Copies of this chain bind each other. A is one copy, B any other.
Amino acid sequence: MKISTKGRYGLTIMIELAKKHGEGPISLKAIAQANELSEHYLEQLIAPLRNAGLVKSIRGAYGGYILADLPSKITSGDVIRVLEGPISPVEGIEDEEPAKRELWIRIRDAIKDVLDNTTLEDLASHSDDGDSDAYMFYI
């Protein structure tokens, strides 16, 4: 029941691009270094994001990537769907018996609600809060 590094690193890329939106293309190398990630691996993640039309690429020296739209217009759900597939706690909800189907639908809709209502602008804005609150991490 986890989001893999695909979705997590994909969001990392998109948040970096959102932070520097309007400043011209950002290279993957810069993003990889800033986040201590493998540039090659990020290349594999941004390919589907480009195919899905969420980012645009500029080739050649001083090239890189830019968001295809305003940070306020791209949601975390857009990114997660591209990299992790449809948002659903199980595959084939429709084939489940009614009891469990109902449960999966409730979970799916709850996740969907969060992901589709959180934009890159939201995420990029409070990227340097301190440790805001005493959260319980294991529940």
Whether the pair A107, B100 counts as a contact (CB closer than 8 A) is: no
Cβ-defined partner of A97 (8 Å) among B98, B127, B139 = B127
Give Cα distance in the complex from A1 to B130, angstroms. Answer: 28
Q: Is the CB of B94 within 8 A of A137?
A: yes
Number of copies: 2
**Do A103 and B76 form a contact, CB below 8 Å, given A1-B89, A89-B1?**
yes
Task: Answer whether residue A15 sits at the interface, using C-beta atoms and an 8 A cutoff.
Answer: yes
The size of the chain A interface, using a CB distance under 8 A, is: 51
B106 & A114 in contact (Cβ 8 Å cutoff): yes
Digitize A105-125: 1 where CB-to-B-CB distance is under 8 Å, 0 elsewhere: 111101111110010000110
Please tell me which one of the listed residues B2, B99, B114 contacts residue A126 in the complex, with CB atoms under 8 A apart: B99
Chain B residues contacting A1 (CB-CB under 8 Å) are 1-4, 7, 80, 84-85, 87-89
Query: Which 9 A-B pairs have CB atoms at the shortest separation, nearest pair first?
Result: A110-B110, A99-B123, A98-B129, A99-B127, A106-B114, A3-B89, A94-B137, A86-B138, A107-B114
